[in-house]
Amino acid sequence: MSSTPLDTDLINGCIHNDRKAQELLYKKFYVSMGSICTRYTHNENDTIEVLNNGFLKVFKNIQSFDPAKASLYTWIRTIMVNTAIDFIRQNQKHKQHLELDYATEPFIESDALQRLNTTELLHHIKNLPTATQTVFNLYVIEGFTHKEIGLKMGISEGTSKWHLSEARRLLQKSLKTLHVA
C-alpha cells in the first residue's frame, strides 16, 4: 500500500496543523487502526484510548514520515502497535517474570481456526492473559521475531517463546471446549 497524492495532501495539511486534514487522515485510517488496537486491548475504552494516543503520536510526528521507507498505512500501523505495547506495559499490574529456554508448542488443527469466524477467534485471543495475548499478536499477526518481541516488551527471548507456547496451549484448550480442535 503506497502513499497516494491524496495522502501527500493529507500529510502536508497535518504538518501545517490543518484540522480538516487531521480529521480526514483520522477518518481514513480509523477503522483499520481500530482493528489493530482491538487485538491488543481487553475492552472498548482501552481500544479507544490506544487509538487516540496513537493518532496523537501520528500528528506530533507526521513531519518525520518518509514515503521512501514505508507507506502511510504501514507507518501509522507501526505507531499503533507500539502505542498498544506501551499501553500494556504501563497498565500491566502483575508482570510475569518467567525465564524459559524451551517451550513446546501445542498442536492446533489448521482447519480448526478456519471453522471459527473472526469475531469468535478474536474473543478467544482476548481472553488470554495480557502479556500472552500481546506476544501472540506480535508473533503470529505482526510477524515479529522473539528477539524483537523481547526488546519491545522488555522480556527475554525465552519468555517470549513461553508466552507464545502458553497462548497456543490456552487457545487449544479453549477451542476443545467448543469441540472445534
pTM over 0.85: no
Q: Whose CA is closest to 29, among 79, 67, 68?
A: 79
Q: What is the mean pLDDT of the chain?
A: 83
Instruction: Quote the CA–CA distance of 22 and 28 in Å, as a whole number.
Output: 10
- Grid cell 490506544 in the structure block, residue: 50
pLDDT tens across 119-149, in order?
Answer: 777 788 888 998 999 999 999 888 999 999 9
- Grid cell 476443545 in the structure block, residue: 176
The count of residues in the chain is: 181
Sequence ranges of the domains in the chain: 5-91, 110-177
CB 34 within 8 A of CB 47: yes
CB 128 within 8 A of CB 157: no
The architecture (CATH level 2) of 5-91 comes to: Orthogonal Bundle (1.10)
pLDDT tens across 18-54, in order?
Answer: 999 999 999 999 999 999 999 998 889 999 999 999 9
Instruction: Quote the CA–CA distance of 7 and 158 in Å, as a whole number.
Output: 41
Instruction: Quote the CA–CA distance of 54 and 38 in Å, as a whole number.
Output: 13
Residue 35 has a CB neighbour count (10 Å cut-off) of: 14
The domain 110-177 having CATH identifier 1.10.3720.10: the answer here is no
